[in-house]
Structure 1
Amino acid sequence: MTNNNKITKRPVALVTGGRRGIGAAIVLRLARDGFDVAFTCRNEDEVAQQLCAEIETLGGRGLAVASELQSLEAHAELIERVQAWGGVVDCLVNNAGIGSPVRGDLLDMKPAAFDQVLDTNLRGTFFLTQQVAKQMIQASSEQPRSIINVSSVSVEMASPERGEYCMSKAGLGMATKLFALRLAPENIGVFEVRPGVIRTDMTAGVADKYEQRFKDGLVPMGRWGETSDIASIVSALACGQFGFATGSVIHADGGLAIPRL
């Protein structure tokens, strides 16, 4: 983590869950495209510090902040730390989230699992966005401002064996619309990116299963999505290239979610 607190003219992005996978790809792409990037993680460990070092090789500054999204009490401290480091947040990327603790029969879902997933993926994301949006409105910035929710094809595609996850993502889809309407007069764009099957450490354990499903036609493009596919979309949105398209949903799934006969 850099200790340089000098505020630069580069726009500042905050990426939740930015330590690995899709989040890390987004962090590095934003840095490459001109942002200073703060990101949340569970631990400010060697992996997080290495990511900060990579950001610096791309000409930006990086800040890793250990923060739990589901802890609403931690949001104010997170925002204060980022502001002290880099100033106003110009772009919030809501990437952090968890999957279903146990996949199984919808009729066997436990309240604890429901609460755990909804508290993180929806409740935590909603209230962090609320706080960052207030800060964006109160502080002036010459940079394009945006909030980008990284959700899932599960917003619309139902998987009964992981119902709590699907419900959390469906709620995030509505939150995108609500924030887009509320923040449009403030010239803050709000967008949603819905990844499909993406090659990450989290999907490595089921890689063989998906390889066969690709051959069977699950994804029309016939391949894995890569973390770079998601990162390039997020960066284009963050850079203000689609500002008038606020509220839009980008399907980043190789055609997976297109209804077919």
Structure 2
Amino acid sequence: MSIRPTALVTGARAGIGRAIAVGLAQAGFDLALLDLQEDDALQESAALAKQLGARAVTLAGDIAAIEQHEALLDAAEQAIGALTCLVNNAGVSVLSRGDLLEVTPQSYDRCQQINTRGTFFLTQAFARRLLTRTTATAQRSIITITSSNAQAVSVLRGEYGISKAALSMASRLFAVRLADAGIGVYEVQPGLIATEMTAPSKARYDAEIERGLTAIKRWGQPEDVAQVVVSMATGALPYTVGHAVPVDGGLLIPKF
């Protein structure tokens, strides 16, 4: 069994997930990196972690398929040792932005099945494993990436906001349930982060940022999110339970 802390990071092929993998590798973690396919992008995430001295393995799986969760956790632990950290980063946006009155059941269900249901049950499976281990040799944590849209209304992608708001509640529920076991459960709420997912909206938000949408007049970077995740995973927030940290440049602060 590894004496180093270990983490499973979902949605690790690029963007925020890749930055989290790199950040955790820098902090001394060994990593299991999960995405839908073990493609070149996921392999690159692993290669970057390995360059920093981490053991890093790649896994293919769909978190929406909850029947796969135990096998995925088994595979991760067989490769890098007993897991001490879960980073729930995998998620999807809407099939298409549009009028709330035109949201389709397909788009709504997709957000719920992946963002909310899949993440909830993976967290449940991971938490059960942690609780079976009577001796904790490292800081144990569960960190869930939600969104500023867990709070801020975006009527052009309502089903996404609903799924993230529900996931925010799930994070707090697990935080209270697991606090007495010494397991830190946290939430990160990214705002406008420059990734593949936000690229289609770049021109629109460039102008909004310049007009003061965010207090810090720039796009957030995946590394900004990763720094917060690393702080949570390494126990830098003692005596905190269920904290949600916005990484949004002041987007959610009321301004006038």
Q: Normalization by structure 2: what TM-score?
A: 0.97
Structure 1 counterpart of 2:108, which letter? F
Unaligned residue ranges in structure 1 (runs of 5+) = 1-6
1:143 pairs with 2:138: yes
The alpha carbon displacement at 1:13 in A equals 0.4
1:69 pairs with 2:63: yes
CA distance in structure 1 between the partners assigned to 2:95 and 2:230 by the alignment? 30
The alpha carbon displacement at 1:188 in A equals 0.2
Structure 2 counterpart of 1:87, which letter? G
What residue number does 2:226 align with? 231
CA distance in structure 2 between the partners assigned to 1:159 and 1:153 by the alignment? 10
CA distance in structure 1 between the partners assigned to 2:204 and 2:103 by the alignment? 24
Deviates more, 1:204-213 or 1:191-200: 204-213
What residue number does 1:244 align with? 239
Counterpart secondary structure, 1:245: coil
Structure 2 counterpart of 1:120, which letter? I
CA distance in structure 2 between the partners assigned to 1:208 and 1:115 by the alignment? 29
Deviates more, 1:92-101 or 1:38-47: 38-47
Q: CA RMSD in A?
A: 1.0
CA distance in structure 1 between the partners assigned to 2:40 and 2:218 by the alignment? 32
CA distance in structure 2 between the partners assigned to 1:160 and 1:69 by the alignment? 26
**1:205-243, CA deviations, whole angstroms, 9 ceiling, x for partnerless residues?**
322221111111111111110111000000010001113
Deviates more, 1:243-252 or 1:200-209: 200-209
* Equivalences for residues 142-221 of structure 1 within 5 A: 142-221=137-216
Contact persistence 1:153–1:253 (CA under 8 A) = yes
CA distance in structure 2 between the partners assigned to 1:56 and 1:155 by the alignment? 34
Contact persistence 2:2–2:82 (CA under 8 A) = no
The alpha carbon displacement at 1:78 in A equals 0.3
CA distance in structure 1 between the partners assigned to 2:103 and 2:209 by the alignment? 29
Contact persistence 1:88–1:135 (CA under 8 A) = no
Equivalent of 1:39, from 8, 22, 33?
33
Counterpart secondary structure, 1:103: coil
Structure 2 counterpart of 1:41, which letter? D
What residue number does 1:124 align with? 118
The alpha carbon displacement at 1:178 in A equals 0.4
CA distance in structure 2 between the partners assigned to 1:103 and 1:214 by the alignment? 20
Structure 1 counterpart of 2:60, which letter? A
* Equivalences for residues 79-98 of structure 1 within 5 A: 79-98=73-92
Contact persistence 1:192–1:247 (CA under 8 A) = yes
The alpha carbon displacement at 1:8 in A equals 2.3
**1:28-60, CA deviations, whole angstroms, 9 ceiling, x for partnerless residues?**
100011000111111112222222222111011
- Count of aligned pairs: 255
Unaligned residue ranges in structure 2 (runs of 5+) = none
CA distance in structure 1 between the partners assigned to 2:255 and 2:28 by the alignment? 40
Q: Which runs of 4+ in 1 moved over 6 A?
A: none
Counterpart secondary structure, 1:9: coil
What residue number does 2:255 align with? 260
